Amino acid sequence: MPETTPPQPTTQITAQHRELLDQVLDKWSLQVLDRLCESPSRFNELRRAIPVITQKSLTATLRRLERNGMVDRVVVNTRPLAVEYRISALGKTLQDLIDALLGWTTATMPEVERARERFDEHA
Partner DNA sequence: CGGTATCCCTTCTGATACTG
Partner DNA sequence: CAGTATCAGAAGGGATACCG
Under rule CB under 8 A, residue 76 binds a copy of itself: no
Give yes or no for residue 55 binding DNA (CB under 7 A): yes
Hey, how many other C-beta atoms are within 10 angstroms of the C-beta on 40? 16
When asked if residue 56 is in the footprint of DNA (CB under 7 A), the reply is yes
Cα dist from 39 to 20, 35, 63, 110, 111, whole Å: 24, 7, 18, 32, 34
Contact 41, 84 (CB under 8 A): yes
Of residues 84 and 90, the one with the C-beta less far from a copy of itself: 90
Determine if 120 is a binding residue for a copy of itself (CB under 8 A): yes
**Of 25, 26, 40, 72, which one interacts with DNA (CB under 7 A)?**
26
Other CB atoms within a 10 A radius of the CB of residue 61 amount to: 23
Rounded CA-CA distance 35/95 in Å is 11
Binding site for a copy of itself (CB under 8 A): 8-11, 13, 16-18, 20-22, 25, 27, 30-31, 34, 38, 66-69, 90, 93-94, 97, 99-106, 108-109, 111-112, 114-116, 119-120
